[in-house]
Amino acid sequence: MEELTSLKKNDVWDLVERPDKRSVIKTKWVFKLKKDEENRSGRFKARLVARSYSQRYGEDYDETFCPVIRFETVRLLLAKAAGEGLQVHQLYVKPAFLNGEITENVYVEQPEGFSEPLNEKL
């Protein structure tokens, strides 16, 4: 699975003992059938998602943030580039969400397909 390979390659987690009195986020795999250019069935795309609805505000987290650019900002930049006669280039970073830094410990159960059955680790 491309998603699992990317998570391992980017050293996203460390296996640790299950902590006492801390919430542990469960995960699940979500699969989507991708189609090719001619709208024929292609391959499955897998995403590992956190079921973070079990987290409690003030205990498991204090704030949330998602760095997404506003549409108005994109429109302004494109208008400015057009007015100046500049070229615009786009960059796509496949596992962009893996490049952020966090300072808190977040405990997540091992995803299915990664578990080490002899260890009760996270």
- pTM for the structure as a whole: 0.54
Q: Where are the domains of the chain?
A: 2-99
Provide the pLDDT for residue 115: 64
DSSP string, 38-53: TS-EEEEEEEEEEEGG
CA 71 to chain centre: 21
For every one of its 122 residues, what pLDDT tens digit does the chain have, with 9 covering 90 and above? 677 777 777 777 778 887 777 778 888 888 888 887 787 777 788 888 888 777 777 777 777 777 788 999 999 999 999 999 999 998 876 666 666 677 778 888 887 777 665 555 55
